[in-house]
Structure 1
């Protein structure tokens, strides 16, 4: 049986909270929302992410990261990390547009130049 790392409350001082995906706890950065692997749930690797990607926030205290953590948890639909979709109609329109671009054998970048300005 493998030893599974558990999220510690101390990880918030490195800017990470836990995210449960399919029953597995993974660290999620509260600043950039990046989800790291389970192997990265070590204080040294979490600190390295904070220093290399968010150097300007590396000296902040835990209350700063707790505010960002609260914002992330508010945006989640449930504890598994599923994000709430804003509208099914928008998603359907996006799929239909992508399908039309692919069916006409056009590059996907045509959507950026042709369709996005009209949205």
Structure 2
């Protein structure tokens, strides 16, 4: 009964985990993400033994890489364009061009349609 009442421990990220190729996930900062395969794991996997095991099993060619290799990889991933970067900030949206294009398309469709009467 006591184990059912106990709260689940939420592990915290440590900078040491970078040597295993893990950073915090961009979408959920309580979950680790592998820099090499970009797979996000549960918080339970935020144990050095599990991270080391993943590195050795899935990426055996990278297990002897130093921390600098993973730091460079981390920066490449952070600077990689993502979906948010493709859209403008909400205050800088240019509605004029979109409105004009929408009107032009509607006008072209209306001109091409053949009207029939029943």
Q: TM-score, normalized by length of structure 2?
A: 0.60
**Separation in 2, partners of 1:54, 1:2:** 30
> What is the number of residues matched between the two proteins?
81
Deviations 1:28-74 (A, max 9, x none): 01111111111100000000000001101101100001111111111
* Residue 8 of structure 2 is aligned to residue 9 of structure 1: no
Segments of 5+ residues of structure 2 without an aligned counterpart are: 1-6, 88-118
More strand by share: 1
Cα 1:63–1:84 shift into 2, 3 Å: same
Runs of 4 or more consecutive aligned structure 1 residues displaced over 2 Å after TM superposition: 85-88
TM-superposed deviation, 1:86 = 8.2
Segments of 5+ residues of structure 1 without an aligned counterpart are: 77-82, 89-119
Q: TM-score, normalized by length of structure 1?
A: 0.60
SS at match of 2:56: helix
